[in-house]
Chains A and B, each alone.
Chain A
Amino acid sequence: MERSLRGQVAVVGVGETEYFKRGQSPDAEFKLALKAILNACANAGISAKKVDGFASFSNDRSDPSRLAAALGCDELRFSNMQWGGGGGGGSAAVANAAAAIATGIADCVVVFRALAQGQFGRFGQGPRRNSIAGDMAHTVPFGLMSPAQMFAMKVQRFMADHGVKQAALRAISLASYEHAQNNPRAVMYEKPLDEATYDASRWIVEPFHLYDCCQENDGAAAMILVSADRAKDFANEPAYVLGAVAGSHYRAGAGVHNTPDYATSTFKTLAPRLYEMAGVTPADVDVLQSYENFTGGVLMSIVEHGFCTPDGCNEYFVKERFVAPSGALPLNTSGGNLAECYMHGLGLNIEAVRQLWGASTNQVRDASVSMVISGPMVTPVSACIFGKEAVL
């Protein structure tokens, strides 16, 4: 028997809260999670009491048992957390939820992520303790402690190996900001970015300028997944999971920056499996959401998913290619983590579904294969491809 998720599960509803700048949410984090889940259920046209599974990632604090109790869910059948930090688990949570549904563990699973950094402290900050032990003791005393600092070293090596120029990173940032200007929900709506402003912006850590780095936001996002045989009973057109993968290469987690393959987005082993499961090639992908913790991660992700060669980046990474609707590979069409909102990337999965529904603020014409790359450079990472019924 062939083992594949292809076409077995579909997204039938999505929901988000309003997005806020970090620390600005008037709601508690758990309340944000509830709101996003209820919005997604309303969008799907299903009572939240019928949700029987929850899947999240990045050590989300909104415990499924409390969610199920708060929402009066009839029964809890799947309570899932993808290990690993950052946004690497965004599409893994979709994969886990889909696997649970496909194998009969649960019937209606919500994938969600909620963040209120004002309530629980910030990402991207160094530790404030006096003493530090373990893996971080080997990096923090040298001033290497934030995510930008952890990942710049990988990107620097990749750019040096392949002669990649700063303009390639800039193109990624400009495309996100351009898309955000058409998205009233985006935090960077009515805040356009041009080349000169990017070039003049301060360095955070070379090779990342300010505009190469994601925002920090409060908010929540959720998606409702059901089996393919039920999916057509819902008002929204089913967005089928064609493929979903999560993981990392040999010893990606070796400590103190010792992974053998270092200058990578961590997708080299995953991307071939993703395409095989989905039954598509890079040329079939109509629109791409690629998680931007930092633009350099997007660069390596796009290379490792076969859209361009490592040595072809300077020619490939131009803004025009990435801007909807005319670009050859529309990228981060909501504004993404850089310019819409940083919801640890789950907003990217929602945008990918919206593209299939024809509901994006930067709609790609006739989008039928919609891809998401989640959380490059960490381990594990993940990716998924959604498709319309016509491509099954």
Chain B
Amino acid sequence: MTTYLNPGLPQPAPAPDGLDRPYWEGLQDERLLVQKCQSCETWQWGPEWVCHSCHSFDVGFQETAAQGTIYSYERVWHPVHPALREQGAYLVVLVELPHAGGIRLVGNLLGDPERPVEIGLAVEGVFEHHPDADQPFTLLQWREAD
């Protein structure tokens, strides 16, 4: 299994207070879990302890399809982290999930980093596992949908 970015970047871990733990655990099982208020059904991301709509604290995590559209993107050229010194250009995308209240997730767009990118492009999730990390984790990456 190769990864999109060269190894050596900081490894994500669940927040010490547990706020986003279901998200990270879900990814390891190839499931995308994001917040959906159990009281008023409002989708919510980034994770928070309370529903921004109805103020219920019962903001459970709901599985949803890893499919979306590109809301914005950027092609990075200048490496700011030593691990990316030999990386060359790479694409970061902000993906909107229309079926989940339009919440957005950040990831990389797999494939040629110098490809043209259009806002609105349909993409689907790819689970990028990092089993050899000190604390194994999985990232949700994106590729152009078939």
Residues of A within 8 A of B (CB): 124-135, 137-146, 148-149, 152-154, 156-157, 160, 202-206, 251, 254-258, 262-263
Contacts of B104 in A (CB 8 A): 256-258
Could you list 20 further interchain pairs (A-B, Cβ under 8 angstroms) beyond the known A138-B105, A144-B74, A156-B74?
A: A130-B10, A131-B10, A133-B15, A137-B20, A138-B12, A138-B106, A139-B106, A141-B5, A141-B11, A141-B12, A143-B87, A146-B80, A152-B74, A203-B75, A203-B77, A205-B75, A205-B76, A205-B78, A255-B47, A258-B46
Nearest-Cβ distance from residue A213 to partner chain B, whole angstroms: 9
**Residues on the A chain within 8 Å of B16, using CB:** 133
Q: How near does chain B come to A117, taking the closest CB pair, in angstroms?
A: 15
Q: How far is the CA of A30 from the CA of B13 in the complex (A)?
A: 36
Q: List the A residue with the shortest CB-CB distance to B76.
A: A205
* CA A157 to CA B119, docked complex, whole Å: 8
Q: Which residue of B lies closest to A213 (CB)?
A: B78
Chain B residue at minimal CB-CB distance from A161: B119
**A276 CB, nearest partner CB in chain B, Å:** 28
The distance in angstroms between the C-alpha atoms of A137 and B77, with both chains bound, is: 21
CA distance A257 to B96 in the complex (A): 10
Report whether B107 and A142 are in contact in the complex, using a CB–CB cutoff of 8 Å: yes
Given A131-B135, A145-B80, the answer on whether A258 and B72 have CB atoms closer than 8 Å is no
Question: What is the total of A-B residue contacts with beta carbons within 8 Å?
Answer: 132
Q: Are B13 and A142 in contact (CB under 8 A)?
A: no
From known contacts A130-B134, A142-B108, A153-B72, infer whether A206 and B77 are also in contact, taking CB-CB under 8 Å.
yes
A143 to chain B, nearest CB (A): 6
Say yes or no for B126: interface residue by CB 8 A criterion: no
**19 A–B contacts, CB within 8 A, in A order:** A128-B10, A130-B10, A131-B13, A132-B12, A133-B12, A133-B16, A135-B46, A137-B12, A138-B105, A142-B106, A143-B76, A143-B92, A153-B94, A156-B72, A156-B74, A160-B72, A255-B45, A255-B47, A262-B72
Query: Is B106 a contact of A133 with CB atoms below 8 Å?
Result: no
* Minimum CB distance partner of A127 in chain B: B10
What residues of chain A lie closer than 8 Å to B81, measured between beta carbons? Answer: 125-126, 143, 145
Determine the residue in chain A with the shortest Cβ distance to B75: A206
Mark interface residues in B74-97 (1 if CB within 8 Å of A CB, else 0). 111110110010010010101000
Query: Is there contact, CB below 8 Å, between B72 and A157?
Result: yes
Query: Across the interface, which residues of B come within 8 angstroms of A138, CB to CB?
Result: 12, 20, 46, 105-106
Is B127 interfacial (CB-CB < 8 Å)? no
Find out whether the CB atom of A142 lies under 8 angstroms from the CB atom of B139: yes
B80, A149: Cβ atoms closer than 8 Å: yes
- Tell me how far the C-beta of A206 lies from the nearest C-beta in chain B, rounded to whole angstroms: 5
In the bound assembly, the distance between CA atoms of A149 and B94 in angstroms comes to: 12
Compute how far the CA of A155 lies from the CA of B119 in the bound complex, rounded to whole angstroms.
13
Contact (Cβ within 8 A) A149 B74: yes
User: B52 interface residue, CB < 8 Å from A?
Assistant: yes
Contacts of A146 in B (CB 8 A): 80
Q: Are A153 and B80 in contact (CB under 8 A)?
A: no
Closest 4 CB pairs of A and B: A255-B46, A137-B12, A157-B72, A132-B10
A153 and B11 contact, CB distance less than 8 A: no
Nearest CB on A from B88, distance (A): 11
State the Cβ distance, A6 to closest chain B Cβ, in Å.
34
A204 touches B92 (CB 8 A): no
Q: How far is the CB of B32 from chain A (nearest CB, A)?
A: 13
Within 8 A of A (CB), among B1-27: 5, 9-16, 20, 24
Assess the B10–A140 pair: CB atoms within 8 A: yes
Residues of chain B contacted by A129 (CB below 8 angstroms): 10
Q: Does B71 contact A262, Cβ atoms closer than 8 Å? A: yes
Chain B residues 40-54 with CB under 8 Å of chain A are 45-48, 52
Q: Mark B97-116, 1 if CB is under 8 A from A, else 0.
A: 00000011111100000000
Distance, CA A206 to CA B72, complexed state (A): 12
Query: Once bound together, how far apart are the Cα atoms of A276 and B140, in whole Å?
Result: 46
* Smallest Cβ-Cβ distance to A256: which chain B residue: B46
Across the interface, do B92 and A142 meet the contact criterion of CB distance under 8 Å? Answer: yes
Could you mark each residue 123-146 of chain B with 1 if its beta carbon is under 8 Å from any beta carbon of chain A, else 0? 000000000001100010000000
Contact status B15-A257, CB under 8 Å? no
- Tell me which residues across on chain B come within 8 A of A144, comparing CB atoms: 74, 76, 92, 106
